[in-house]
């Protein structure tokens, strides 16, 4: 009986893992976008490019941390 409930626990862990990665990327992107756009007065294109770059880097870091 115990073996039947194990896959649902693993799926829940996978959802939490990818949710954590997505949240980490979104927060990093929002932070750098707001910093670039309003504090440093960068153009919209530059701010979006930096936000995308930081989101990818943050997602990569979160992925590596979640696999430890």
| Whether pLDDT at 68 is above 90 | no
As separate numbers, helices (DSSP H) first and strands (DSSP E) second, the chain gives 2, 0
* SS3 (DSSP) at 1: coil
Q: How far apart are CA 31 and CA 9, in angstroms?
A: 33
Instruction: Quickly tell me which residue has 């115990």 as its tokens.
Output: 2
Q: How far apart are CA 62 and CA 24, in angstroms?
A: 7
Instruction: Name the pTM for this structure.
Output: 0.77
Q: How far apart are CA 14 and CA 50, in angstroms?
A: 28
pLDDT tens readout for residues 4-20: 555 555 667 778 899 99
What's the pLDDT at 12? Answer: 77
- DSSP annotation of 40 reads S
What's the pLDDT at 9? Answer: 55
| Whether pLDDT at 44 is above 70 | yes
pLDDT tens readout for residues 27-40: 999 999 999 999 99
């Amino acid at each position: 009986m115990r073996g039947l409930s194990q896959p649902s626990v693993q799926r829940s862990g996978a959802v939490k893992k990818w949710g954590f990665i997505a949240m980490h990327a979104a927060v990093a992107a929002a932070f750098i976008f707001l910093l670039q756009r309003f504090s440093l007065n960068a153009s919209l294109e530059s701010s979006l490019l930096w936000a995308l770059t930081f989101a990818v880097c943050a997602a990569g870091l979160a992925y590596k941390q979640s696999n430890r």
